[in-house]
């Protein structure tokens, strides 16, 4: 399942799937020059999916516009097998692609043509998040029960009425941020820092998309109320059952 590279001197193992070989080479060279990265390249959806589900990676960088299988189709297949964090490369300004990728199971996105330093920052943020999750697992974590939900930090598992709910890493951490402050409003920037390791950007819908996914997967409270409430202009609130 999720690759957890926790050795401080170990390189971050990145799978880069992009059909633009010149661009992929540029990204790979930049990552390697930054230090601390190992990059495997694939240039179509079919081989990208095969590598993602048969080899171990810390992060997958996945382009939307791939031949044979596009990025969305590839992501669906990857998510059936592994929960490795995925950063999608989307067309600049194409909000539909961004939201669709997040709905399917991407953790984050970077628009193309992208700033390579921004891409590096996103990858590092995800790996820091993975390291934090591993620390919880190694320490045994803790269990939280709130209404019909049971959250096990050590295994990053969520149960609703004893039924396991499959969440991506980003979705789990968004839920964790909300539940830790249940009954109180949590602003989007705080959620993004906790779940994505970065600040929310202007016109950034990533937190909104992850919350939308959580609502669909977790369903309403037993009394029919929506468990995650939007507080317009402020953020989100996890509703307590009291």
Whether residue 49 has pLDDT greater than 90: yes
Rounded distance between C-alpha atoms, residue 129 and residue 108, angstroms: 12
Positions of CATH 1.10.10.10 in the chain: 140-238
Both structure tokens of 145: 């029960």
Percent of the chain with pLDDT over 70: 89
pLDDT of residue 142: 66
Residues 116, 61 contacting (CB under 8 angstroms): no
- The mean pLDDT value of the chain amounts to 87
Pick the more confident residue, 18 or 153: 18
What one-character DSSP code corresponds to residue 176?
H
Whether residue 2 has pLDDT greater than 50: no
Beta bridge partners of 12: 37
pLDDT of residue 93: 62
- Helices 206-218 and 188-196 sit at what angle, rounded to 10 degrees? 80
* Angle 128-148-181 from CA coordinates, rounded to 5°: 45
Pick the most confident of 30-39, 52-61, 142-151: 52-61
pLDDT of residue 35: 82
Positions of CATH 3.40.50.2300 in the chain: 12-134
Task: Give how far the C-alpha of residue 4 lies from the chain's centroid of Cα atoms, to the nearest Å.
Answer: 14
The predicted-structure confidence for 199-223, as pLDDT tens digits, reads as follows: 888 888 899 999 999 999 999 998 8
DSSP letter for each residue of 48-72: HHHHHHHS--SEEEEESS-SSS-HH
What CATH code would you report for 12-134?
3.40.50.2300
The CB density around residue 63, as the number of other CB atoms within 10 Å, is: 23
The predicted-structure confidence for 66-90, as pLDDT tens digits, reads as follows: 988 999 999 999 999 998 999 999 8
Task: Give how far the C-alpha of residue 119 lies from the chain's centroid of Cα atoms, to the nearest Å.
Answer: 14
pTM (two decimals)? 0.80
Greatest alpha-carbon pair distance for the chain in Å reads: 57
Contact partners, residue 33, CB within 8 Å, separation at least 6: none
pLDDT of residue 5: 47
What one-character DSSP code corresponds to residue 156?
T
The second-level CATH assignment, the architecture, of 140-238 is Orthogonal Bundle (1.10)
């Amino acid at each position: 399942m999720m690759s957890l590279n926790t050795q401080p001197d170990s390189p971050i193992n990145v799978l880069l799937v992009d059909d633009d070989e010149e661009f992929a080479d540029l990204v790979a060279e930049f990552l390697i020059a930054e230090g601390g990265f190992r990059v495997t390249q694939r240039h179509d959806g079919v081989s990208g999916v095969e590598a993602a589900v048969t080899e171990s990676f810390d992060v997958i960088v996945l382009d939307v516009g791939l031949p044979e299988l596009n990025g969305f189709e590839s992501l669906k297949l990857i998510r059936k097998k592994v929960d490795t964090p995925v950063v999608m490369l989307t067309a600049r300004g194409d909000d539909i692609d961004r939201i669709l990728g997040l709905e399917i199971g991407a953790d984050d996105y970077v628009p193309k043509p992208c700033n390579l330093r921004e891409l590096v920052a996103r990858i590092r943020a995800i790996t820091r998040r993975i390291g934090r999750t591993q620390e919880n697992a190694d320490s045994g974590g803790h269990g939280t029960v709130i209404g019909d939900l049971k959250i096990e930090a050590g295994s990053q598992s969520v149960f609703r009425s004893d039924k396991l709910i499959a969440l991506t890493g980003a979705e789990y951490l968004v839920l964790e941020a909300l539940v830790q402050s249940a009954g109180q409003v949590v602003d989007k920037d705080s959620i993004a820092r906790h779940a994505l390791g970065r600040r929310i950007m202007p016109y950034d819908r990533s937190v909104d998309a992850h919350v939308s996914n959580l609502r669909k997967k977790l369903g309403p409270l037993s009394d029919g109320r929506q468990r995650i409430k939007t507080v317009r202009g402020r953020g989100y609130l996890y509703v307590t059952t009291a």
